[in-house]
Structure 1
């Protein structure tokens, strides 16, 4: 996540009072965010991701089918995770970045020479592809399977931190499994189809912190990409900054406090043979206020072979570990990694 022992964090740049974005964070003109003013007085003129109520069983499969086919992402309400737990997860994540000194945070630093290592970092890619940096710091927790879960590696400044992360891990894992079952059924497959293809969840919880940026028009908090696993469950604070690509247009995802935002990832697109698409998304920055989000990734084991469950196959089979290595080596750049598997 970091390379060569570099200890620079975006938050430290802001605390130093930088008024100009350092060049390594400046996006090339073609990938910079372009603010589009929309008429918000007429609801029909504003495109928003679907909101699906998990308690409405009569229309659930049809709504899921439409959302997964047209967006690859949607808000989920009445999902069974108490809003108090969502708030607690946001709060402990925010406390780590707001209340700990930089030295305290760096004591949890991730391995600078190993992508996807657990801990506190800023850089996600190997150095050869790290040409433009994201305006983001993060803390990544390895939470499932339980053999990977080591709470001693998580912050201990708060009595609740480790307890909240563990409970949030368990609840989101259960929701992810339920969702994959419903998504399978919406395609006319057996409820266990996608989950059986994925196998045991390898779950990571990543708390992302996006400090205020002096030149948000030049940066991205997180560059355009699709997630490489099976399904991502995301919550964000009330600041907002997540955008999803829909029909060539970047759509701002308004935060909903009690909702979980579901993002289909690449392996689900492969398993559904392209019937459902993984969602391309990014994070923008702002100059006024820090933003926080919590993404919970549910992935296959590295040794799992992923292939379509529907004939005729449109994607080549791939070992998940090889797919991840390609992503970290080449970089995301939208969805080019999954596009390379098309037959």
Structure 2
């Protein structure tokens, strides 16, 4: 679904190398000797079996979801609207999307410091961060194209909430955790959607679309286009996540790893930059309530609010997220 033309003024200034042209956007991607096999576990939402779901979360920390019930017209419409939003000028996005809908680009900590850093430290990505609980109340002065985008985001968010609730309950059943006691660990009021654009990059071998990381969420639900570039780490090897139309990709985050006493894994993943095509994706993230205390035999009791604060301190001090290791009972930090 990449656009056939690019408004180069829509790219952050650092992403506008002199040799990037409108014509380059339409160049076909290099052919591969063979299409990479689809290795991800498959989970059928219409036949959601806790044991099968749990096995995917233990073995991979990520799986492909089919028969999820999200209309294809909604997925395609939301993607088209996201592309329109990204094609606004960089200045419009930067000036008009500040709160609560925020626009970001590159590595947020790096962007706040300086764009004059080495490009080796830059994530070749931009995005919109959308807190779903604030969408219905939003009185916006944003561009007119945002109105339609917002209505689709609200509809999409309802579907994501439906999927997230059902999968979380199935995970609790697999883990033999009491649903009543643990139901508050997933708080839909915390959920947000991020729309990402990974601009084409003239030197894709030197930079990353997004560096390797784990998500802080309970779970993340991803809709990606047909360009590819997402990889997950399994057994110390990077595995390509093949774009499959009509499916969603779900990965486990740090909070679920803690809740499960490390039975489930928060999967390391990254996005490779692409020299000839843009990549678009839409991610739904959901978390525990900020003050909900995560109880786990492997971790000291902590709240998501404390976890996030520690992540921010680590990123500011070192440029990288440390994450759950800070809260291990045998923490050596």
What interval of TM-score do these two structures reach, taking the shorter chain for normalisation?
0.7 to 0.9
2:3 paired residue number: none
Tell me by how many angstroms 1:333 deviates.
8.2
Residue matched to 1:90: 79
Contact 1:213 1:286 in 2 (8 A): yes
Separation in structure 2 between the aligned mates of residue 171 and residue 340 of structure 1, nearest angstrom: 34
Counterpart of 2:257 (choices 253, 269, 273) is 269
Residue 185 to residue 119, structure 1, CA distance change in 2 (3 Å) = same
Where in structure 2 are the equivalents of 1:1-343 lying within 5 Å? 11-15=12-16, 17=18, 40=34, 46=37, 48-57=39-48, 60-98=49-87, 100-110=88-98, 118-122=101-105, 123-125=107-109, 132-144=121-133, 146=134, 150=138, 152=140, 155-157=143-145, 159-192=147-180, 194-308=182-296, 313-331=297-315, 336-343=322-329
- CA deviations over 1:106-160 (Å, ceiling 9, x no partner): 332437xxxxx6311114237579972211111111112x588526276532552
2:187·2:288 contact (CA, 8 Å) conserved in 1? yes
Partners of 1:140 and 1:205 within 8 A in 2: yes
Number of residue pairs the alignment of both structures matches: 303
Provide the rounded CA distance (Å) in 2 between the counterparts of 1:290 and 1:124.
20
Give the whole-Å Cα distance in 2 for the aligned partners of 1:70 and 1:335: 24
Contact 2:184 / 2:292 at 8 angstroms: preserved in 1?
Answer: no
Separation (CA, whole Å) in 1 of partners of 2:311 and 2:321: 10
Kept in 2, the 8 Å contact 1:93–1:207? The answer is yes
TM-score, normalized by length of structure 2? Answer: 0.81
The offset of 1:278, in angstroms, is 1.0
Q: CA deviation at 1:328?
A: 2.5
Work out the CA distance in 2 between the residues paired with 1:39 and 1:274: 38
Contact 2:102-2:130 at 8 Å conserved across structures: yes
Structure 1 residues 14 and 334, CA, compared in 2 at 3 Å: closer, same or farther?
Answer: closer
Query: CA 1:149–1:76 in structure 2 vs 1: closer, same or farther (change >3 Å)?
Result: farther
- What root-mean-square deviation, in Å, do the aligned CA atoms of Structure 1 and Structure 2 show? 3.0
